[in-house]
């Protein structure tokens, strides 16, 4: 363990001196992506390792073999996406990295399980604070959802009431129209009867 700690310190010192390896002329041309590509040009000064030009990848920049792939605490990080993978982890030599693609609810379950198993989580600083924050957010989200549903129900209720009122008004209008039609029919009938009576009177007089 002492050797590993020594090697980790040595690796840290090496990494502090290590340059950023980027593609030749990336800083000159906007279309070039900032990542490593080996220089292959015949006249390339970078390939020839001339002074004043960017450094190329060399074996000397590698980490020591025993600590290669380890995190700063000397543990091997393992990507985890479910509880089965989490249960396989050795807490003394391996640390957990929860995948980015894991959903929030599954992440909470994984964190709680990791906490119970006393595992080290590399891609999270304060697990209890994160869990408290997330639970608070979920609670607020739930309350907002319930509030929205309540508002939606009230709106639907108001719509139904408005529709009922509209139907009632239309029914009243129809009743009024029917009444007026009946009244007109009665009026016409009366007029016809009066005309008939007058005609009968005239006929009796002539006789």
Residue 203 reports pLDDT greater than 90? no
- Using pLDDT thresholds of 50, 70 and 90, give the confidence band for residue 146: very high
What digits encode the pLDDT tens for the residues 150-161?
999 898 888 888
Instruction: DSSP letter for 121, please.
Output: B
80 close to 89: Cβ distance less than 8 angstroms: yes
The pair of three-digit structure tokens given for residue 101, joined into one six-digit string: 């693609």
Q: Which residue has the tokens 């041309």?
A: 29
What mean pLDDT comes out for the span 117-125? 87
What 3-state class would DSSP assign to 96? Answer: strand
Tokens representing residue 99 in the block: 């995948």
pLDDT (average), residues 91-115:
90
* Residues facing 79 on adjacent strands: 97
8-57 pLDDT, tens digit per residue, is 999 999 999 899 999 998 988 889 888 899 999 999 999 999 999 999 99
Domain ranges of the chain: 1-40+61-68
Q: How far apart are CA 77 and CA 124, in angstroms?
A: 12
Q: What are the backbone dihedrals phi and psi of residue 204, each rounded to the nearest 5 degrees, phi first?
A: -65, -35
């Amino acid at each position: 363990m002492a050797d590993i700690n020594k090697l980790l310190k040595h690796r840290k010192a090496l990494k502090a001196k290590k340059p950023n390896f980027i593609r030749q002329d990336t800083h000159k041309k906007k279309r070039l992506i900032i990542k490593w590509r080996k220089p292959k040009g015949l006249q390339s000064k970078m390939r020839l390792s001339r002074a004043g030009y960017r450094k190329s990848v060399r074996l000397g920049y590698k980490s020591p073999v025993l600590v290669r792939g380890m995190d700063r605490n000397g543990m091997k990080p393992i990507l985890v996406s479910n509880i089965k993978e989490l249960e396989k982890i050795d807490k003394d030599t391996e640390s957990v990295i929860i995948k980015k693609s894991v959903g929030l609810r599954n992440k909470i379950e994984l964190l709680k399980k990791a906490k119970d198993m006393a595992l080290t989580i590399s891609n999270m600083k304060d697990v209890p604070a994160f869990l408290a924050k997330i639970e608070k957010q979920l609670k607020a989200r739930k309350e907002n959802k319930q509030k929205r549903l309540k508002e939606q129900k009230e709106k639907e209720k108001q719509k139904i009431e408005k529709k009922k009122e509209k139907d009632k008004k239309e029914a009243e209008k129809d009743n009024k129209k029917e009444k007026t039609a009946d009244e007109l029919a009665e009026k016409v009938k009366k007029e016809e009867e009066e005309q008939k009576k007058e005609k009968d009177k005239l006929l009796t007089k002539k006789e």
